[in-house]
Structure 1
Protein backbone atom coordinates (compact mmCIF):
# COMPACT_ATOMS: atom_id res chain seq x y z
CA UNK A 1 0.00 0.00 0.00
CA UNK A 2 1.42 3.35 -1.05
CA UNK A 3 0.49 6.09 1.40
CA UNK A 4 1.01 9.75 0.53
CA UNK A 5 1.22 12.15 3.48
CA UNK A 6 0.39 15.78 2.76
CA UNK A 7 -1.25 18.87 4.13
CA UNK A 8 -4.97 19.25 3.53
CA UNK A 9 -6.39 21.74 1.07
CA UNK A 10 -9.91 23.11 0.92
CA UNK A 11 -11.02 20.56 -1.67
CA UNK A 12 -10.29 17.79 0.89
CA UNK A 13 -12.78 19.06 3.47
CA UNK A 14 -15.81 16.96 2.52
CA UNK A 15 -13.71 13.81 2.42
CA UNK A 16 -12.09 14.61 5.77
CA UNK A 17 -15.51 15.09 7.35
CA UNK A 18 -16.62 11.77 5.87
CA UNK A 19 -13.50 10.09 7.33
CA UNK A 20 -14.28 11.52 10.75
CA UNK A 21 -17.84 10.16 10.55
CA UNK A 22 -16.48 6.66 9.93
CA UNK A 23 -13.22 6.59 11.89
CA UNK A 24 -13.32 9.09 14.73
CA UNK A 25 -15.05 9.13 18.08
CA UNK A 26 -17.64 11.89 17.86
CA UNK A 27 -19.40 11.60 21.21
CA UNK A 28 -19.67 14.69 23.38
CA UNK A 29 -18.39 17.21 20.89
CA UNK A 30 -20.02 19.78 18.63
CA UNK A 31 -20.75 18.69 15.08
CA UNK A 32 -17.87 19.17 12.70
CA UNK A 33 -18.27 22.08 10.34
CA UNK A 34 -16.82 22.56 6.85
CA UNK A 35 -16.48 26.33 7.28
CA UNK A 36 -14.50 25.96 10.50
CA UNK A 37 -12.25 23.35 8.94
CA UNK A 38 -11.67 25.71 6.00
CA UNK A 39 -10.68 28.39 8.51
CA UNK A 40 -8.12 26.05 10.10
CA UNK A 41 -6.58 25.36 6.69
CA UNK A 42 -6.55 29.07 5.78
CA UNK A 43 -4.97 30.11 9.11
CA UNK A 44 -2.33 27.38 9.19
CA UNK A 45 -2.03 25.45 5.92
CA UNK A 46 0.17 22.76 7.50
CA UNK A 47 -2.00 22.12 10.57
CA UNK A 48 -4.15 19.36 9.06
CA UNK A 49 -2.01 16.48 7.82
CA UNK A 50 -3.62 13.76 5.74
CA UNK A 51 -2.79 10.22 4.76
CA UNK A 52 -4.01 9.41 1.25
CA UNK A 53 -4.17 6.01 -0.45
CA UNK A 54 -5.18 5.74 -4.11
CA UNK A 55 -6.51 9.30 -4.00
CA UNK A 56 -8.71 8.58 -0.94
CA UNK A 57 -8.22 10.30 2.43
CA UNK A 58 -7.67 7.51 4.98
CA UNK A 59 -6.07 9.38 7.87
CA UNK A 60 -5.90 12.78 9.53
CA UNK A 61 -4.29 14.64 12.38
CA UNK A 62 -4.52 18.31 13.30
CA UNK A 63 -1.41 19.74 14.95
CA UNK A 64 -2.19 23.09 16.47
CA UNK A 65 0.43 25.60 17.58
CA UNK A 66 -0.55 28.87 19.21
CA UNK A 67 2.99 30.07 19.90
CA UNK A 68 2.80 28.83 23.49
CA UNK A 69 1.39 25.30 23.49
CA UNK A 70 1.18 22.44 21.02
CA UNK A 71 -2.02 20.45 20.69
CA UNK A 72 -3.06 17.40 18.68
CA UNK A 73 -6.64 16.85 17.57
CA UNK A 74 -8.67 14.52 15.37
CA UNK A 75 -6.26 11.63 14.89
CA UNK A 76 -8.34 9.34 12.71
CA UNK A 77 -7.48 6.37 10.54
CA UNK A 78 -10.07 4.62 8.39
CA UNK A 79 -10.91 1.18 9.86
CA UNK A 80 -9.95 -0.55 6.58
CA UNK A 81 -6.30 0.55 6.88
CA UNK A 82 -5.67 0.52 10.61
CA UNK A 83 -2.66 -1.22 12.16
CA UNK A 84 -0.42 -0.37 9.22
CA UNK A 85 1.51 2.51 10.78
CA UNK A 86 -0.55 5.37 9.36
CA UNK A 87 -1.51 6.82 12.75
CA UNK A 88 2.07 6.59 13.99
CA UNK A 89 3.42 8.29 10.88
CA UNK A 90 0.85 11.09 11.17
CA UNK A 91 1.93 11.54 14.78
CA UNK A 92 5.65 11.50 13.89
CA UNK A 93 5.12 14.14 11.22
CA UNK A 94 3.04 16.33 13.55
CA UNK A 95 5.62 16.09 16.32
CA UNK A 96 8.42 17.03 13.94
CA UNK A 97 6.41 20.06 12.76
CA UNK A 98 5.54 21.21 16.28
CA UNK A 99 9.10 20.84 17.59
CA UNK A 100 10.36 22.88 14.62
CA UNK A 101 7.85 25.59 15.59
CA UNK A 102 9.23 25.66 19.14
CA UNK A 103 7.11 23.18 21.10
CA UNK A 104 8.65 21.56 24.16
CA UNK A 105 5.53 19.64 25.15
CA UNK A 106 2.59 18.30 23.15
CA UNK A 107 -0.85 17.39 24.42
CA UNK A 108 -3.52 15.30 22.76
CA UNK A 109 -7.27 15.55 23.12
CA UNK A 110 -8.63 12.02 23.60
CA UNK A 111 -12.14 11.11 24.75
CA UNK A 112 -12.29 9.02 27.92
CA UNK A 113 -14.29 6.27 26.20
CA UNK A 114 -12.00 6.07 23.16
CA UNK A 115 -10.04 2.99 24.24
CA UNK A 116 -8.58 2.38 20.77
CA UNK A 117 -7.26 5.93 20.59
CA UNK A 118 -5.92 5.81 24.12
CA UNK A 119 -3.93 2.65 23.34
CA UNK A 120 -2.08 4.46 20.52
CA UNK A 121 -1.31 7.50 22.66
CA UNK A 122 -0.02 5.29 25.50
CA UNK A 123 2.13 3.29 23.07
CA UNK A 124 3.61 6.56 21.82
CA UNK A 125 4.63 7.69 25.31
CA UNK A 126 1.74 10.01 26.14
CA UNK A 127 0.29 9.85 29.65
CA UNK A 128 -3.03 10.99 31.06
CA UNK A 129 -2.80 13.91 33.47
CA UNK A 130 -5.25 13.03 36.24
CA UNK A 131 -4.65 16.34 38.04
CA UNK A 132 -6.14 18.31 35.12
CA UNK A 133 -9.73 18.61 33.94
CA UNK A 134 -10.73 20.33 30.76
CA UNK A 135 -13.22 23.17 31.20
CA UNK A 136 -15.36 24.00 28.17
CA UNK A 137 -17.98 26.57 27.31
CA UNK A 138 -19.56 26.85 23.85
CA UNK A 139 -19.54 30.31 22.29
CA UNK A 140 -21.16 31.83 19.24
Structure 2
Protein backbone atom coordinates (compact mmCIF):
# COMPACT_ATOMS: atom_id res chain seq x y z
CA UNK A 1 0.00 0.00 0.00
CA UNK A 2 3.00 2.31 -0.20
CA UNK A 3 1.48 4.02 -3.23
CA UNK A 4 -1.66 4.92 -1.25
CA UNK A 5 -1.62 8.45 0.13
CA UNK A 6 -3.88 9.17 3.12
CA UNK A 7 -4.53 12.83 3.96
CA UNK A 8 -7.09 15.22 5.40
CA UNK A 9 -9.36 17.00 2.95
CA UNK A 10 -9.14 20.74 2.35
CA UNK A 11 -11.84 23.11 1.13
CA UNK A 12 -10.46 22.80 -2.41
CA UNK A 13 -11.37 19.06 -2.32
CA UNK A 14 -15.08 19.56 -1.64
CA UNK A 15 -16.41 19.37 -5.20
CA UNK A 16 -14.20 16.36 -6.01
CA UNK A 17 -15.43 14.59 -2.87
CA UNK A 18 -19.07 15.27 -3.72
CA UNK A 19 -18.60 13.87 -7.25
CA UNK A 20 -16.78 10.87 -5.78
CA UNK A 21 -19.61 10.13 -3.36
CA UNK A 22 -22.12 10.09 -6.23
CA UNK A 23 -20.12 7.25 -7.82
CA UNK A 24 -18.74 5.40 -4.80
CA UNK A 25 -20.95 5.95 -1.73
CA UNK A 26 -24.13 4.07 -0.95
CA UNK A 27 -27.10 6.22 -0.01
CA UNK A 28 -27.20 9.96 0.38
CA UNK A 29 -27.17 12.37 3.26
CA UNK A 30 -28.96 15.64 3.81
CA UNK A 31 -25.47 17.15 4.21
CA UNK A 32 -24.15 15.95 0.82
CA UNK A 33 -23.67 19.41 -0.60
CA UNK A 34 -20.91 22.01 -0.77
CA UNK A 35 -22.15 23.93 2.27
CA UNK A 36 -22.50 20.77 4.38
CA UNK A 37 -18.97 19.57 3.68
CA UNK A 38 -17.58 23.10 4.05
CA UNK A 39 -19.17 23.33 7.53
CA UNK A 40 -17.61 20.00 8.48
CA UNK A 41 -14.14 21.16 7.41
CA UNK A 42 -14.54 24.55 9.10
CA UNK A 43 -15.53 22.91 12.39
CA UNK A 44 -13.03 20.06 12.25
CA UNK A 45 -10.40 20.34 9.49
CA UNK A 46 -9.10 16.81 10.13
CA UNK A 47 -12.45 15.00 10.08
CA UNK A 48 -12.69 14.19 6.37
CA UNK A 49 -9.93 11.74 5.45
CA UNK A 50 -9.09 10.96 1.83
CA UNK A 51 -7.22 8.11 0.18
CA UNK A 52 -5.51 8.86 -3.11
CA UNK A 53 -3.58 6.70 -5.52
CA UNK A 54 -1.56 8.40 -8.26
CA UNK A 55 -3.26 11.68 -7.38
CA UNK A 56 -6.75 10.23 -7.91
CA UNK A 57 -9.31 10.07 -5.10
CA UNK A 58 -10.06 6.39 -4.38
CA UNK A 59 -11.61 6.49 -0.91
CA UNK A 60 -13.07 8.65 1.85
CA UNK A 61 -14.18 8.44 5.43
CA UNK A 62 -15.42 11.00 7.95
CA UNK A 63 -13.93 10.63 11.43
CA UNK A 64 -16.02 12.87 13.66
CA UNK A 65 -15.23 13.40 17.32
CA UNK A 66 -17.31 15.65 19.55
CA UNK A 67 -15.26 15.15 22.71
CA UNK A 68 -17.56 12.34 23.81
CA UNK A 69 -18.11 9.95 20.91
CA UNK A 70 -16.01 8.83 17.96
CA UNK A 71 -18.18 8.44 14.86
CA UNK A 72 -17.24 7.12 11.44
CA UNK A 73 -19.33 8.05 8.41
CA UNK A 74 -19.06 7.95 4.66
CA UNK A 75 -16.54 5.14 4.31
CA UNK A 76 -16.52 4.85 0.54
CA UNK A 77 -14.11 3.25 -1.90
CA UNK A 78 -14.40 3.63 -5.66
CA UNK A 79 -16.07 0.49 -7.08
CA UNK A 80 -13.07 -0.20 -9.37
CA UNK A 81 -10.65 0.00 -6.42
CA UNK A 82 -12.38 -2.21 -3.87
CA UNK A 83 -10.66 -5.20 -2.26
CA UNK A 84 -7.26 -3.47 -2.44
CA UNK A 85 -6.91 -2.55 1.25
CA UNK A 86 -8.10 1.03 0.84
CA UNK A 87 -10.95 0.77 3.36
CA UNK A 88 -8.62 -0.91 5.84
CA UNK A 89 -6.05 1.90 5.44
CA UNK A 90 -8.76 4.54 5.90
CA UNK A 91 -10.08 2.85 9.03
CA UNK A 92 -6.56 2.62 10.45
CA UNK A 93 -6.25 6.39 9.93
CA UNK A 94 -9.62 6.91 11.64
CA UNK A 95 -8.59 4.81 14.62
CA UNK A 96 -5.23 6.59 14.95
CA UNK A 97 -7.02 9.95 14.92
CA UNK A 98 -9.48 8.85 17.59
CA UNK A 99 -6.81 7.34 19.85
CA UNK A 100 -4.80 10.59 19.61
CA UNK A 101 -7.94 12.52 20.62
CA UNK A 102 -8.60 10.25 23.61
CA UNK A 103 -11.46 8.31 22.03
CA UNK A 104 -12.53 4.99 23.50
CA UNK A 105 -14.84 3.41 20.92
CA UNK A 106 -15.79 4.01 17.30
CA UNK A 107 -19.45 4.08 16.28
CA UNK A 108 -19.98 3.56 12.57
CA UNK A 109 -23.00 4.44 10.45
CA UNK A 110 -23.53 1.53 8.03
CA UNK A 111 -26.54 1.11 5.77
CA UNK A 112 -28.59 -2.00 6.54
CA UNK A 113 -28.90 -2.96 2.88
CA UNK A 114 -25.19 -2.60 2.10
CA UNK A 115 -24.08 -6.20 2.66
CA UNK A 116 -20.67 -5.56 1.11
CA UNK A 117 -20.02 -2.84 3.69
CA UNK A 118 -21.02 -5.19 6.50
CA UNK A 119 -18.24 -7.56 5.41
CA UNK A 120 -15.71 -4.72 5.23
CA UNK A 121 -16.51 -3.46 8.71
CA UNK A 122 -16.50 -6.98 10.18
CA UNK A 123 -13.17 -7.80 8.53
CA UNK A 124 -11.60 -4.79 10.26
CA UNK A 125 -12.81 -5.81 13.73
CA UNK A 126 -16.15 -3.99 14.02
CA UNK A 127 -19.37 -5.69 15.07
CA UNK A 128 -23.02 -4.81 14.85
CA UNK A 129 -24.96 -3.83 17.95
CA UNK A 130 -28.53 -4.91 17.35
CA UNK A 131 -29.93 -3.22 20.45
CA UNK A 132 -29.42 0.29 18.95
CA UNK A 133 -31.35 2.03 16.21
CA UNK A 134 -30.77 5.41 14.68
CA UNK A 135 -33.48 8.04 15.20
CA UNK A 136 -33.43 11.17 13.06
CA UNK A 137 -35.29 14.42 12.53
CA UNK A 138 -34.35 16.71 9.65
CA UNK A 139 -34.02 20.34 10.69
TM-score normalised according to structure 2 size? 0.94
Query: Which whole-Å deviations, capped at 9, do the CAs of 1:61-118 have from their partners, x for residues lacking one?
Result: 1000000000000000111111111110000011011011011111100010011111
User: Matches of 1:92 and 1:53 in 2, distance apart?
Assistant: 17
User: Matches of 1:94 and 1:31 in 2, distance apart?
Assistant: 20
1:1-140 mapped onto 2 (5 Å cutoff): 2-26=3-27, 29-30=29-30, 32-139=32-139
User: Matches of 2:123 and 2:15 in 1, distance apart?
Assistant: 31
Out of 49-58 and 29-38, give the one that drifted further.
29-38
TM-superposed CA distance for 1:31, in Å, is 6.0
Question: What SS does structure 1 have at the residue aligned with 2:131?
Answer: coil
- How many pairs are equivalent? 138
User: Matches of 1:118 and 1:30 in 2, distance apart?
Assistant: 22
Question: What SS does structure 1 have at the residue aligned with 2:72?
Answer: strand
User: Matches of 1:119 and 1:4 in 2, distance apart?
Assistant: 24
Query: Which whole-Å deviations, capped at 9, do the CAs of 1:9-42 have from their partners, x for residues lacking one?
Result: 0111111111111111115x43611111011111
User: Matches of 1:131 and 1:109 in 2, distance apart?
Assistant: 14
Q: Which runs of 5+ in 2 are unaligned?
A: none
